[in-house]
Amino acid sequence: MTERVGSDTRERLITAAADLIAASPGEDFSLRAVCDAVGVKMPTLYHFFGSKQGLIDAVIEHGFDLYLGEKASMENSGDPIQDIRAGWDAHVAFGLENPGFYTLMYGKVRPGYSPAAQSRPSEILRGLTAEAAKQGRLVVPSEQAAAHILAANIGVTLRQIILAQADQELSRAMREATIAAITGTGTSRGGPLAAAIEVAAANADVLGPSETQLLIEWLSRLNRSSSIS
Amino acid sequence: MTERVGSDTRERLITAAADLIAASPGEDFSLRAVCDAVGVKMPTLYHFFGSKQGLIDAVIEHGFDLYLGEKASMENSGDPIQDIRAGWDAHVAFGLENPGFYTLMYGKVRPGYSPAAQSRPSEILRGLTAEAAKQGRLVVPSEQAAAHILAANIGVTLRQIILAQADQELSRAMREATIAAITGTGTSRGGPLAAAIEVAAANADVLGPSETQLLIEWLSRLNRSSSIS
DNA sequence: GAATATATGTATCAGTGATACATCTAGTAC
DNA sequence: GTACTAGATGTATCACTGATACATATATTC
């Protein structure tokens, strides 16, 4: 009966753990519960994984396989920016569909801790931003663009998980805000003067507070009166 | 000896817990360790807090008091967008300085869970976006602007905590990307400042020649110095 | 068939959050 | 001043957790 090669038990343990995690995302889970589900005792689990973290790592690895499986097919438009959009959406969708996995991967916040498997999607993303940079489509360094995308993408996904509520409009808005920022292709609404006001406000330290205030007032007057808006 | 009013022990327990959490941010902590630090047994702790979560909530409350204490003074420029900038920076700074507290507040990701105290800063933020909306400075609903800011602000803070490395440039880039998105004042590639200079020069009669000249000089300086191009 | 590596069970450990119960203390009422 | 009461604290114990030493079973290989 136990002639299975490649350790059937090992995979069943991973599956059982994944099920338990999926059943109560973000919550802690008991190794004994995992063992009971498989019908095995704890030393067996420890034989395969060495520690609870070992099992968790294996589950995460398993989760990333699922994730990258879904994701890989989506990023082949040829246009790196479009691929970044697709990757963003796939990221959010995976997090909302698998909050248990996602929480393990990105929801355990402590300094200096990031599961090894986390680097794989990160590599893909950096490949995309590097390609975009090569095509001259970024106004920031490729590395910073990738960091920006990742932080915002994770942020909006975790937020939706915490609120237990999907918000596709928010995700889209943040996605486009991010892409606009790294490509410098923002759409300005009020014309260059309104934009200049915001730039001035954002860099109040350059001219100093009072000069900046006067500058902004002048620009506002100009904006109201100028024929070329 | 034990004549202290207002339950000295209670506060000492909170302080001890806060210290332990600060000593190993993101890690779990033991109630017994807290009790030992104060020189008290567990039933005392349970008498005051009822459960571990009760203690955690009290610690969070304590953390938010610190946070809002630091933060309150920073948001009074009169300009809601500027206040949002200050709030963003204060948020990030607090997270980096107090990763233990911050992890408790925003780093425990599980569906439907957000500490009650979390709503306080959220209320402040929504007040600011509501004010900005009233001034007609937003191109998205006030609520969505607040959600956008919050998700991005938390995201970039958690990211820096996880990487155990501050990245002020990333925080600034995400802050401005967010503000650009909600105000619709994105900067296009040539730079709004250059465009604004042209508009000002073409309408020198509005402000008068000398003011216009000074305005143009300031805009030029801004254009050279501002990190937002 | 013997030897060996892999896999699994038994028994037990220290540490955890939690609680029932007894005890002590401080303040209040008479 | 004594008795009572409510709040505060200690003792003892619970079930459960992750972890491990040790023995045992199974399967593969020679």
Reading the block at residue A49, the tokens are 């994984």
Contacts of B177 in chain A (CB under 8 A): 148, 152, 177-178, 180-181
Residue B38 inside a domain? The answer is no
Question: Measured between CB atoms, does B159 come within 8 Å of chain A?
Answer: yes
Reading the block at residue B199, the tokens are 């508009």
> Could you tell me the CA-to-CA distances from B194 to A118, B85, B97, B149, B224 in Å, in that order?
42, 24, 38, 28, 10
pLDDT above 80 (res B75): no
The mean pLDDT value for B26-50 works out to 96
**Which among A156, A195, A203 has the least Cβ separation from residue B185?**
A195
pLDDT above 60 (res A5): no
Which residues, other chains included, contact A15 with Cβ-Cβ below 8 Å and sequence gap of 6+? none
Residue A18 inside a domain? The answer is no
Reading the block at residue B137, the tokens are 């400075």
pLDDT tens profile A74-113: 767 788 988 999 999 999 999 999 999 999 999 999 998 8
pLDDT tens profile B146-158: 999 999 999 999 9
- Tokens 């904006």, residue located: A223
- Residue A49 CA to residue A40 CA, distance in Å, equals 14
Nearest to B152 by CA among B85, B64, B66: B85
Residue B99 inside a domain? The answer is yes
pLDDT above 60 (res A26): yes
Nearest CA in chain B to A205: B226
What pLDDT score does B115 carry? 85
Mutate to test the interface with A, among B24, B28, B110 (most CBs of A within 10 A): B110
Q: Is B108 helix (H, G, I), strand (E, B) or coil?
A: strand
Q: What domain count does chain A have?
A: 1
The partner residues of A188 in beta bridges, in order of sequence, read: B185
What pLDDT score does A75 carry? 65
For residue A6, count CB atoms less than 10 angstroms from its CB and return exposed for 0-12, middle for 13-18, buried for 19 or more. exposed
Write out which nucleotides of chain C lie closer than 7 A to a protein Cβ. 6-11, 15-21, 25-27
What pLDDT score does A1 carry? 38
pLDDT tens profile B95-154: 999 999 999 999 999 998 888 888 889 999 999 999 999 999 999 999 999 999 999 999
Residue A19 inside a domain? The answer is no
Residue B220 inside a domain? The answer is yes
**Band of pLDDT at residue B2, cut at 50, 70 and 90:** very low
What pLDDT score does A189 carry? 61
In degrees rounded to 5, what are phi and psi of residue A108? -95, 95
The mean pLDDT value for A164-192 works out to 87
Predicted model pTM = 0.84
Residue A54 inside a domain? The answer is no
What pLDDT score does B4 carry? 43
pLDDT tens profile B163-186: 999 999 999 999 999 999 999 886
Q: Report the 10 Å Cβ neighbour count for B13.
A: 24
pLDDT above 90 (res A199): no
pLDDT above 80 (res A71): no
What pLDDT score does B229 carry? 42
Q: Report the 10 Å Cβ neighbour count for A172.
A: 15
pLDDT above 90 (res A206): no
Residue B184 inside a domain? The answer is yes
Domain that holds residue A133: 76-228
Helices and strands (DSSP H and E) totals, chain B? 12, 0
What pLDDT score does B167 carry? 98
Could you check: is the Cβ of residue A39 within 7 Å of any atom of nucleic acid strand C?
yes
The partner residues of A108 in beta bridges, in order of sequence, read: B108
How crowded is the C-beta side of A120, counted as CA atoms within 13 Å? 17
Residue A1 inside a domain? The answer is no
pLDDT above 90 (res B224): no
Residue with smallest Cα–C1' gap to D7: B47
- Residue A110 CA to residue B159 CA, distance in Å, equals 10
pLDDT above 60 (res A187): no
Contacts of A217 in chain B (CB under 8 A): none
Reading the block at residue A74, the tokens are 């989506």
What pLDDT score does A226 carry? 60
